[in-house]
């Protein structure tokens, strides 16, 4: 009887140790799954929702025209950048001459250049003289900016423009346009521009001719035959 009474406390002691060990293991939660200071874990960040709003329409400048570039082309050191002027106003707009250009470096400082009206000092085919143009609302005029990436004197630092503004004519406000890359003038010190010319209007969509009328089974001018004959 004495040995039985001693065994019972031993079993109780072992059960208590097992329970304490289980509680200790349960409290050892990895830090990656607990908040700082024992706080519950924070939920994962919610990804930003994509905006469904559309960009507002571009307003027409006070000048009544909008100027933009239509992309550049480079071949054998010759650069050509297309310009487009759109009459976005509600009244006719007149042009007669060349675009006015200003080139700026990456610090937005102006670069001193000689602007050549036409392309005779740069290339051929862009020397048509200016003509007086009248653009109705939504009509367009185009021009081309020309330059060469040419280095003729190694002692002169090559010029690279980063920004370009274009005005419809002298004395009118200019608009910044995308030069579609650096304006790499080498050390030529000049840039050319062709005269404004009216853009060709898009050809109207061909209309499909109306199908001919379906002839009736019996012409109205012919009487049906007499069944009594």
- pLDDT above 60: residue 163: yes
Q: In whole angstroms, give the CA distance from residue 195 to residue 126.
A: 8
Grade residue 94 by pLDDT with cuts at 50, 70 and 90.
very high
Show Cβ contacts of residue 192 under 8 Å, excluding neighbours closer than 6 positions: 115, 116, 117, 118, 119, 121, 122, 123, 126, 145, 146, 147
Between 187 and 50, the higher pLDDT residue: 187
Q: What pLDDT, on the 0 to 100 scale, is given for residue 45?
A: 42
Range among 174-183, 198-207, 215-224 rated most confident: 174-183
Residue 122 β-bridge partners: none
- pLDDT above 90: residue 205: no
3-state DSSP assignment of residue 209: coil
Cα Rg of the chain (Å, integer): 41
Q: What pLDDT, on the 0 to 100 scale, is given for residue 119?
A: 85
Grade residue 195 by pLDDT with cuts at 50, 70 and 90.
very high
Confidence (pTM)? 0.63
Instruction: Pick 65-198's CATH classification: 2.40.50, 3.30.1300, 2.60.40, 3.40.50.
Output: 2.60.40
Give the position of tokens 């012409």. 219
Q: Which uninterrupted H or E stretch holds 10?
A: helix 2-27
Q: What is the mean pLDDT of the chain?
A: 75
Grade residue 57 by pLDDT with cuts at 50, 70 and 90.
low
Percentage of the chain modeled with pLDDT above 90: 51
Q: What pLDDT, on the 0 to 100 scale, is given for residue 1?
A: 44
- pLDDT above 60: residue 143: yes
- pLDDT above 70: residue 152: yes
- pLDDT above 80: residue 104: yes
- pLDDT above 70: residue 24: no
Show Cβ contacts of residue 80 under 8 Å, excluding neighbours closer than 6 positions: 72, 73, 74, 144, 145, 146
* Domain spans in the chain, listed from the N-terminal domain onward: 65-198
- pLDDT above 90: residue 227: no
Mean pLDDT on 87-93: 96
Give the position of tokens 């000049």. 190
Q: Are strands 65-75 and 159-161 parallel, antiparallel or unpaired?
A: unpaired
Q: What pLDDT, on the 0 to 100 scale, is given for residue 90?
A: 95
Lowest mean pLDDT among 59-68, 129-138, 175-184, 205-214: 205-214
Mean pLDDT on 29-43: 42
Mean pLDDT on 168-185: 94
Q: What pLDDT, on the 0 to 100 scale, is given for residue 99?
A: 97
Grade residue 201 by pLDDT with cuts at 50, 70 and 90.
low
3-state DSSP assignment of residue 74: strand
């Amino acid at each position: 009887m004495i040995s039985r009474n001693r065994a019972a406390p031993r079993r109780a002691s072992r059960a208590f140790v097992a329970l304490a060990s289980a509680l200790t293991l349960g409290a050892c939660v990895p830090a990656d799954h607990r908040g700082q200071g024992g706080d519950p874990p924070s939920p994962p960040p919610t990804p930003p929702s994509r905006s469904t709003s559309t960009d507002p329409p571009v307003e027409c400048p006070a000048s009544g025209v909008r100027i933009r570039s239509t992309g550049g082309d480079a071949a054998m050191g010759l650069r050509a950048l297309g310009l487009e002027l759109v009459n976005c106003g509600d009244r006719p707009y007149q042009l007669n001459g060349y675009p006015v250009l200003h080139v700026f470096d990456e610090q937005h400082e102006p670069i001193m250049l000689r602007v050549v009206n036409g392309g005779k000092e740069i290339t051929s085919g862009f020397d048509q003289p200016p003509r007086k143009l009248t653009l109705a609302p939504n009509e367009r005029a185009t021009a081309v900016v020309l330059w060469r990436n040419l280095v003729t004197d190694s002692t002169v630092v090559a010029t690279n423009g980063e920004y370009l503004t274009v005005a419809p004519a002298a004395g009118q406000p200019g608009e910044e346009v995308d030069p579609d890359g650096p304006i790499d003038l080498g050390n030529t010190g000049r840039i050319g521009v062709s005269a404004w010319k009216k853009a060709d209007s898009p050809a109207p969509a061909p209309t499909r001719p109306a199908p001919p009328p379906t002839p009736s089974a019996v012409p109205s001018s012919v009487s049906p035959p007499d069944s009594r004959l």
